[in-house]
Structure formats: structure tokens, C-alpha cells
Amino acid sequence: MATKAEFIAYVREQVCGAGEVGFRKMFGEYAVYLDGKVVALVCDDQFYLKPTAAGRQLLGEVVEVPPYPGARDHFRLDTVLEDPEQVAAVLRATAAELPLPKVKGRAKPVSRATPKSRAGPVAAKRRPPRKTR
């Protein structure tokens, strides 16, 4: 079951005090970003916070369940989501403890400048090859 747009609108209202919070839709569910880091997931109209020591300390007793089959356990926020100040504090503490995401992909190779003899209209004015010793 995919997360409903109404629930995402509710979550947006509740977490707006944490800073620049972004949402990215993936396979009908959502990843929640803060400071460029994925701090939570929204799956099946439930809010799942990434587990951190700081989050555990602020939340106290937590329910740990996977947000989807095969996932690692996350903190499921039920009644905590109703308190925007507490949710904002927990999101900021979680983001502060999480590492920055790794940059994926390889570095692009440095492009070589195209010799003038091969570039556009200048190609007609070719120079003779250099003599080597």
C-alpha cells in the first residue's frame, strides 16, 4: 500500500520546524531528507526515523520495526509525530549524527582540448606535422 498524499502533507507540516526538509518519492513511498541526509522514511502512512543514539536518547522508549520487508529496523514514530517541536528536535539530532552520503559514480575524465586543426572551419588551414628528432 503506497503512502497517501494527505499523510505526506501532514508530515510536511509537522517537520517543517527542523529546517529545510525535503521529500523524495520512491516506489510509492518517500525518503525524508535534512541537510542532504536521509533521516527518515515514510512507508504505508507511517513515519520511520533512522536509528541513532541521539534519537533514542530524545525519544526514550521506541518501537523498532522495518519500514518495508528486508529493511533494517527504524524507529516508528506514532504519537511523537503529533508534537512538531519534538519531531524537529529528533530530526535535527538524527541528521547531526548521520554521515554525509557517499558520492556515487566515478569522477569524469578531464577533457582534452580539441586541436585547432580539427575544429570547424579552421580545419581547412592545416599545418604540416612537426618534425621529430
In a domain, 107, yes or no: no
Q: In this structure, what CATH number is given to the domain that contains residue 91?
A: 3.30.1460.30
pLDDT at 106 over 80: no
The pLDDT of residue 124: 58
How many domains does the chain contain in total?
Answer: 1
pLDDT at 17 over 80: yes
In a domain, 119, yes or no: no
The rounded percent of the chain whose pLDDT value lies above 90 is 68
In a domain, 124, yes or no: no
In a domain, 104, yes or no: no
In a domain, 110, yes or no: no
pLDDT at 1 over 90: no
In a domain, 65, yes or no: yes
Domain that holds residue 44: 5-97
Q: Give tens-digit pLDDT for 41-82.
A: 999 999 999 999 999 999 999 999 999 999 999 999 999 999
Q: Higher pLDDT residue, 121 or 14?
A: 14
Average pLDDT, stretch 108-113? 60
In a domain, 106, yes or no: no
Using DSSP's 3-state secondary structure scheme, residue 21 falls into strand
CB atoms closer than 10 angstroms to residue 18: 22
In a domain, 128, yes or no: no
